[in-house]
Amino acid sequence: MNTMCLIRALAALSGHPIRLSSVAAPADDPDSTLLRVEPTDQIKPGRGTRAHRGIVYAAPARKLRMDILTPRAPGPHPLVLYLPGGGFVTARRAMAARQRRYVAQAGFVVAGIDYRTVKDGATYRDGLTDIAAAVRFLRAHADRYGIDPARIALWGESAGGYLAAMAATDAVHGIAALTGTRVDAVVDVFGACDLATVADGFDPATVAAYTGPGAALPAYLLGPGRALADHPEEVTRADPAGHVTGATPPFLLLHGDDDRVVAPAQTARLHQALRRAGADSTRYVLQGAGHGAMSPNARIWTSTQVMAIIVSFLRARQGAAQDPDDETSR
């Protein structure tokens, strides 16, 4: 069973299954770049990294762990904090193993973390607290892992993309407020934005499954037993698009036009908010791409073409020394 199949199985067992819509939602955005990806050219396993697994970085109710990949080349290196998806029900640091290794091979320390979800009775604010705790831990152990503590980027997928956007923008609960550390860049891969409309354009059953009573999404936003429609102000505060300013760090947003889990309009909404504020934002819409490993065309997301876009963005905003054996620069 691959990681994403395991995620769906765990979500279903928890009573919050991750549903795929029977129809695609509109993906139009005039200020995004439509990209046709050739998936046959796949990223190769890198050898130039060291792995440090299962490191406890916080224990708010249970032990939260991270896996750290460090380049073999001498540091210090920029840090990329990877936030996995999982429908706000589960968050497994082992996700995107090939992609994380590829980015580490390119000269970054990549730390994938577990964070609290609705299974822990948590809300997104607890998730943001966990992200801040991970940043503090990594800064405190920067010498051990070869990290440059002044260069930090966030990289999130799906639910992790939402948390990355909130962590970089929320002036009260974000990383800058909780740690005093500025984020240099954000990579948001098919992340949510306005959680009340995350399923807009999908079939009615999927909309109800995501936003109706007992769904994981409103529970992670508001707490158990509360409906999105009854708390509009809190829903607005949980939307990263409402927090962006001209000082918001640069964003790279990627979304598939056939995503059946998070409507493409979600990253388009954030992209437009960033542009209106005068922030640096680049958004790609990938033709025929679904929701990562939960789609039949998952190889699009592990293609050299897509991963090179991510690495190039991080290098431009953070800088990273290239390993002479680095496959990503060839």
Per-residue model confidence as pLDDT tens digits over 293-327: 998 999 999 999 999 999 999 999 997 655 545 55
pLDDT tens per residue across span 121-170: 999 999 999 999 999 999 999 999 999 999 999 999 999 999 999 999 99
Residue 28 CB-half CA count within 13 A: 2
Q: Is a pLDDT exceeding 60 seen at residue 8? A: no
If you average pLDDT over residues 237-260, what whole number do you get? 98
Residues 6+ apart with CB under 8 A from 326: 46, 48, 105, 106, 107
pLDDT of residue 233: 96
Q: Is a pLDDT exceeding 60 seen at residue 282? A: yes
pLDDT of residue 213: 82
pLDDT of residue 12: 44
Question: Phi/psi class of residue 295: alpha, beta or left (left: φ > 0; alpha: ψ in -120 to 50)?
Answer: beta
Residues 6+ apart with CB under 8 A from 289: 37, 255, 256, 257, 258, 259, 295, 297, 300, 301
User: Where residue 273 falls among pLDDT bands split at 50, 70, 90?
Assistant: very high
For residues 111 and 155, give the distance between their C-alpha atoms in angstroms, rounded to a whole number.
Answer: 10
pLDDT of residue 299: 97
pLDDT of residue 324: 42
Task: Copy the structure tokens of residue 54.
Answer: 């299962």
pLDDT of residue 5: 52
pLDDT tens per residue across span 44-93: 977 789 999 999 999 998 999 999 999 999 999 999 999 999 999 999 99
Higher per-residue confidence, 137 vs 212? 137
If you average pLDDT over residues 242-250, what whole number do you get? 98
User: Where residue 15 falls among pLDDT bands split at 50, 70, 90?
Assistant: low
What pTM does this model have? 0.93
Higher per-residue confidence, 278 vs 8? 278
Higher per-residue confidence, 28 vs 235? 235
Question: Phi/psi class of residue 244: alpha, beta or left (left: φ > 0; alpha: ψ in -120 to 50)?
Answer: beta
pLDDT of residue 99: 97
Higher per-residue confidence, 269 vs 225? 269
Yes or no: say if 83 and 163 are a contact pair by the CB < 8 Å rule: yes
Nearest-CA neighbor of 163 among 98, 87, 258? 87
Residue ranges per structural domain of the chain: 3-329
Q: Which of 96-110, 165-179, 208-222 has the lowest mean pLDDT?
A: 208-222
For residues 321 and 75, give the distance between their C-alpha atoms in angstroms, rounded to a whole number.
Answer: 9
pLDDT of residue 261: 96
Higher per-residue confidence, 222 vs 323? 222
pLDDT of residue 98: 95
Residue 82's φ and ψ, nearest 5 degrees, are -95, 130
User: Where residue 328 falls among pLDDT bands split at 50, 70, 90?
Assistant: low
**CATH architecture entry for 3-329:** 3-Layer(aba) Sandwich (3.40)
